[in-house]
Chains A and B, each alone.
Chain A
């Protein structure tokens, strides 16, 4: 049975560069328009992620962030402008996204993700992108996605460095397979600094992974951790394996409820 194409003339023009790609085509664009992606964090990583997903015509993009725009964010968080200071980040980003592409339904969530609310939110989505700025959230997103079986992209940046991996729960290595627990005294961007463009480099890699996942194009960055050092521009791909003793996706998981572990 041949599927009917619903793309309007305007959409055919807007997304022509996607349609031209043999791996994407009209079919892939249809999939994008029907897809739902949640971006956690609307900062350095969340900005390029949400803007590229919106531009690409991902049908529904959810964005989560409880913060307001601070002047020190503007050096890298490109979804916000100077006149957005003190506005909720999700509101500021949503405005840009809606202006960029009216095809996209933008759903802003102004809240902190925690064990009590994350499951309900992510279950609405096909793919999750972690662009959070702290380890607690990164582990929370990992565990919640693994438990709910929702594919996601992990990402982290510091100084000149970035790292990212894509996880298909139950099939490929998860974040906890390699990193068991949050480090005891983590250094964050606020103390160590970050080269602004590094956020864009990593965020766009995550966005590309999301688009690939939805359209089925190419192969995903799974069972591997991509790291780069923008100071030298060395990129490295570290192979990872799913661990049978992983506390969340292993054979005898010790984490089976978010509330207990993250409460």
Chain B
């Protein structure tokens, strides 16, 4: 065997080094997770998981979806209301879509501005919240009046119509505004006043709902406090209920809920809608948790975004309304759908 000369030995050594370098590069290329198929490789402490909170005991679900979904074809639906004869009104874009109780489309009402909220009186008169003021339309869609602006900071989010009064929530100024039906501003309700034991409304986001209950008191959401408060028309705070709880179904989840609510007929209580964990729930008139209409699994698009499985923002909380048949209607702005739920049993 011919002994290796110094030159050929060096060549072999260089060859081995090159081969090892190429092998290392190939291994690195093959094993490096350049497309993140293996995930972020972060520990569990960096995860945000609401799987447990999304679970709802099936025994608590008292409603079922019992009618076809209604599509409004609006780009940006913002508010839902039920009017006389259980007509369904959806405001959004620059129009109000109207459906009869069987979801048959009726003539739309064209608007000149984007609506944010609405209420329909017993006579069919529509009170519409535009950014900073109220507009009034008759049941044929004819504009009757535009009330005075509440200023640049105003963000109107809900309207309630009584026998002689109209109440409006202004999330920008964090007050309830009381008008008479001619549009004359009568008073502000809910401004922080320690002498009257009024803490003020804590409104972190543009969700600030109200209604007039059968007991003659206003019910107003104090969203940042996760409560519903009762006020007289003169602005006295009578009582309140609600507690924060994301893990437990009987409380309101997150920072600021419920985003919207509606009253059940016959003074049977409340239907509340939460954002984040999209829960539609029933409370009795005293605020005691009764059951669930629908949970996060029912609103798949919200759940997909919440779980980080899809793009999009969760802006646009669910709105709710109840018709005379006790059907719960839910407007989902993410999917532009009205979902209709009915009770599984007669007794709640």
Same complex:
no
